[in-house]
Amino acid sequence: MSGINVTIDEKNCVANSGETILSVAKRYDIEIPTLCFHPSVSVYGACGICLVEVEGNKKLLRACATEVWEGMKVHTKSERAEKARKLALELLFSDHTGDCLPPCMNACPAHTHCQGYVGLIADGEYDAALALIKEQIPLPASIGRVCPHPCESACRRKLAEEAISIAALKSFAADWDLGREESYLPEKQPPTGKRVAIVGAGPAGLTMAYYLAIKGHSADIYEAMPQAGGMLRYGIPEYRLPKAVLDREIALIEKLGVKIRCNVKIGKDIAFESLEKEYDAVYLAIGAWQSAPLRCEGEQAEGVLGGIDFLRRAVQDQPTSMGRRVAVIGGGNTAMDACRTAIRLGAEKVYVLYRRTRSEMPAEDIEIVEAMEEGVEFKFLVAPIRILTENGHVAGIELQQMELGEPDDSGRRRPVPVEGKTETLALDTVIAAIGQKVVAEGLPVKLTDWNTIAADAHTYLTDRKGVFAGGDGINRGPGIAVESIGHARECADIIDSYLNGDLIPRTEQYLVKRDDLTAADFADREKLPRVRRNVIPPEIRRTNFEEVASTITEEQAKAEAARCLECGCADYGECDLIKYGQRFDVRPDRFGAEPHRRNGADDMVNVHHNPDKCVLCGLCVRYSDEHGDGSLGLIGRGFDTQVRPDYSLSKPEDHLEELKGCAEICPTGALIEKTTGKKVNTVMRRQFVK
Amino acid sequence: MRFTVGMGSCGIAAGAQKTLDALKKALGERSSDIPVGQVGCIGMCFNEPIVEVITDTEHYYYSKVNEEMAEEIVASHLKDGLPAESYLIPEEDMDFLKKQTRVALRNCGVIDPEKIESYRERGGYEAITKVLKTMSPAEVVGEVKISGLRGRGGAGFPTWFKWDAAAKSEGDEKYVICNADEGDPGAFMDRSLLEGDPHAVMEGMMIAAYAIGAAKGVFYVRAEYPLAIKRLEKAIKQARTAGFLGEHILGTDFSFDLEIKAGAGAFVCGEETALIASLEGERGMPRLKPPFPAQKGYWQKPSNINNVETYGNIPWIFREGGEAFAAMGTENSKGTKVFALAGKVKRGGLAEVPMGMTIREIIYDIGGGIKDDKALKGVQMGGPSGGCIPERLIDTPVDYENITAAGAIMGSGGMIVMDETTCMVDMARFFMDFTQKESCGKCVHCRIGTKRMLEILDRIVNGEGRDGDIELLEELGRGIIDGSLCGLGQSAPNPALSTIAQFREEYDAHIRDKKCPAHKCKPLLTYAIDPEKCTGCNACAKKCPAEAIHGEKKKPHEIDAAFCVKCGSCESACRFGAVLVD
Task: Verify that B184 and B232 share a domain, yes or no.
Answer: yes
Q: Which residue of chain B has the CA closest to A42?
A: B288
Q: Which residue of chain A has the CA closest to B455?
A: A593
In chain B, residues with a C-beta closer than 8 Å to the C-beta of A47 are: 443-444
Task: Verify that B355 and B478 share a domain, yes or no.
Answer: no
**Does residue B489 lie within any of the structural domains?**
yes
Topology of domain A4-94 in CATH is Ubiquitin-like (UB roll) (3.10.20)
Task: Verify that B261 and B375 share a domain, yes or no.
Answer: no
Enumerate residues 6+ apart whose C-beta is below 8 A from A131.
A184, A186, A689, A690
Question: How far is Cα B311 from Cα B203, in angstroms, rounded to an integer?
Answer: 8
Report the CATH number at residue B258: 3.40.50.11540
From the list A67, A92, A593, the residue facing B455 with the nearest CB is A593
Last residue of a domain, one of B390, B419, B448: B419
* pLDDT tens-place string over residues B39-65: 999 989 889 999 999 998 889 999 999
Question: How far is Cα B574 from Cα B549, in angstroms, rounded to an integer?
Answer: 12
Report the CATH number at residue B571: 3.30.70.20
> Of B210, B54, B90, whose CA–CA distance to B143 is shortest?
B210
**Does residue B517 lie within any of the structural domains?**
no
Task: Verify that B124 and B269 share a domain, yes or no.
Answer: yes
The answer to whether B306 faces chain A, any CB pair under 8 Å, is no
In chain B, residues with a C-beta closer than 8 Å to the C-beta of A638 are: 436-441, 447
**Does residue B107 lie within any of the structural domains?**
no
Would you list the DSSP string of B433-455? HHHHHH--S-SHHHHHHHHHHHH
- The shares of helix, strand and coil residues in chain B, as percent rounded to the nearest 5, are 45, 15, 40
C-beta atoms of B456 and A59 within 8 A: no
* pLDDT tens-place string over residues A213-254: 999 999 999 999 999 999 999 999 999 999 999 999 999 999
Task: Verify that B446 and B496 share a domain, yes or no.
Answer: yes
| Shortest CA gap A486–chain B (Å) | 37
| Shortest CA gap B268–chain A (Å) | 10
C-beta atoms of A639 and B439 within 8 A: yes
- Packing angle of the helix pair B198-212, B159-168 (nearest 10 deg): 40
Question: How far is Cα A537 from Cα B192, in angstroms, rounded to an integer?
Answer: 91
Q: Do residues B362 and B388 touch, judged by C-beta distance below 8 A?
A: no
Last residue of a domain, one of B307, B326, B345: B326
C-beta atoms of A638 and B466 within 8 A: no
C-beta atoms of A48 and B443 within 8 A: yes
Question: How far is Cα A118 from Cα A141, in angstroms, rounded to an integer?
Answer: 15
Task: Verify that B186 and B319 share a domain, yes or no.
Answer: yes
Has residue B424 got a pLDDT over 70? yes
Q: Which CATH architecture has domain A195-288+438-499?
A: 3-Layer(bba) Sandwich (3.50)
Q: What is the pLDDT of residue A2?
A: 67
Rounded to two decimals, the ipTM of the complex is: 0.90
| Shortest CA gap B493–chain A (Å) | 15
The answer to whether B467 faces chain A, any CB pair under 8 Å, is no
* pLDDT tens-place string over residues B460-475: 999 999 999 999 999 9
- Packing angle of the helix pair B198-212, B308-320 (nearest 10 deg): 80
Q: Do residues A332 and A313 touch, judged by C-beta distance below 8 A?
A: no
Of chain A, the end-to-end C-alpha distance in Å amounts to: 47
Q: Within the 566-605 window of chain A, which residues sit less than 8 Å (CB to CB) from chain B?
A: 590-594
From the list B288, B445, B448, the residue facing A639 with the nearest CB is B448
In chain A, residues with a C-beta closer than 8 Å to the C-beta of B484 are: 48
C-beta atoms of A95 and B482 within 8 A: no
C-beta atoms of A639 and B447 within 8 A: yes
Mean pLDDT on B13-18? 95
Q: What is the pLDDT of residue A650?
A: 72
Task: Verify that B505 and B539 share a domain, yes or no.
Answer: no
Report the CATH number at residue B478: 1.20.1440.230
From the list A593, A633, A638, the residue facing B452 with the nearest CB is A593
**Does residue B188 lie within any of the structural domains?**
yes
Question: How far is Cα A460 from Cα B521, in angstroms, rounded to an integer?
Answer: 53
The answer to whether B485 faces chain A, any CB pair under 8 Å, is yes
CATH of region A103-184+511-562, choose from 3.40.50.300, 3.40.50.1110, 1.10.1060.10, 1.10.10.10: 1.10.1060.10
CA-based angle B40:B46:B48, to the nearest 5? 45
CATH of region A592-688, choose from 1.20.1250.20, 3.30.365.10, 3.40.50.300, 3.30.70.20: 3.30.70.20
Q: Do residues A375 and A392 touch, judged by C-beta distance below 8 A?
A: no
> Of A104, A77, A67, A36, whose CA–CA distance to A622 is shortest?
A36
Q: Do residues A385 and A422 touch, judged by C-beta distance below 8 A?
A: yes
The answer to whether A618 faces chain B, any CB pair under 8 Å, is yes
Task: Verify that B405 and B432 share a domain, yes or no.
Answer: no
Q: What is the pLDDT of residue A687?
A: 80
The answer to whether A84 faces chain B, any CB pair under 8 Å, is yes
Q: Do residues A571 and A686 touch, judged by C-beta distance below 8 A?
A: no
Residues of chain A scoring pLDDT < 50 = none
Task: Verify that B205 and B230 share a domain, yes or no.
Answer: yes
Topology of domain A291-436 in CATH is FAD/NAD(P)-binding domain (3.50.50)
Question: How far is Cα A597 from Cα A613, in angstroms, rounded to an integer?
Answer: 11
Would you list the DSSP string of A222-282? E-SSSSS-THHHHTS-TTTS-HHHHHHHHHHHHHTT-EEE-S--BTTTB-HHHHHHHSSEE
The answer to whether A60 faces chain B, any CB pair under 8 Å, is yes
Q: How confident is the model at residue B446 (pLDDT cuts 50, 70, 90)?
A: very high
Q: What is the pLDDT of residue A601?
A: 65
- For B388, phi then psi, to 5°, come to -105, 125
With 0-12 CB in 10 A as exposed, 13-18 as middle and 19+ as buried, what is A5? middle
Mean pLDDT on B547-555? 91
> Of B66, B49, B53, B56, whose CA–CA distance to B8 is shortest?
B49
Supply the range of the domain harboring residue B342. 336-419
Would you list the DSSP string of B213-279? T-SEEEEEEETT-HHHHHHHHHHHHHHHHTTSSBSSGGGSS--BEEEEEEE---GGGGSHHHHHHHH
Has residue B355 got a pLDDT over 80? yes
Q: Do domains A103-184+511-562 and A592-688 have the same CATH topology?
A: no
From the list A65, A67, A616, the residue facing B441 with the nearest CB is A616
Question: How far is Cα B208 from Cα B206, in angstroms, rounded to an integer?
Answer: 5
Last residue of a domain, one of B302, B326, B350: B326
* pLDDT tens-place string over residues B258-292: 999 999 878 999 999 999 999 999 999 999 888 99
Report the CATH number at residue B360: 3.10.20.600
Q: What ranges do the domains of chain A cover?
A: 4-94, 103-184+511-562, 195-288+438-499, 291-436, 592-688
Specify the number of domains making up chain B. Answer: 5
| Shortest CA gap B544–chain A (Å) | 34
**Does residue B267 lie within any of the structural domains?**
yes
| Shortest CA gap B372–chain A (Å) | 40
**Does residue B473 lie within any of the structural domains?**
yes
Percent of chain B with pLDDT over 90: 88
- For B141, phi then psi, to 5°, come to -60, -40
C-beta atoms of B444 and A92 within 8 A: yes
Task: Verify that B145 and B267 share a domain, yes or no.
Answer: yes
Inter-chain Cβ pairs, chain A and chain B, closer than 8 A: 101
Task: Verify that B445 and B573 share a domain, yes or no.
Answer: no
C-beta atoms of A60 and B482 within 8 A: yes
**Does residue B96 lie within any of the structural domains?**
no
**Does residue B519 lie within any of the structural domains?**
no
Task: Verify that B572 and B552 share a domain, yes or no.
Answer: yes
Q: What is the pLDDT of residue A649?
A: 64
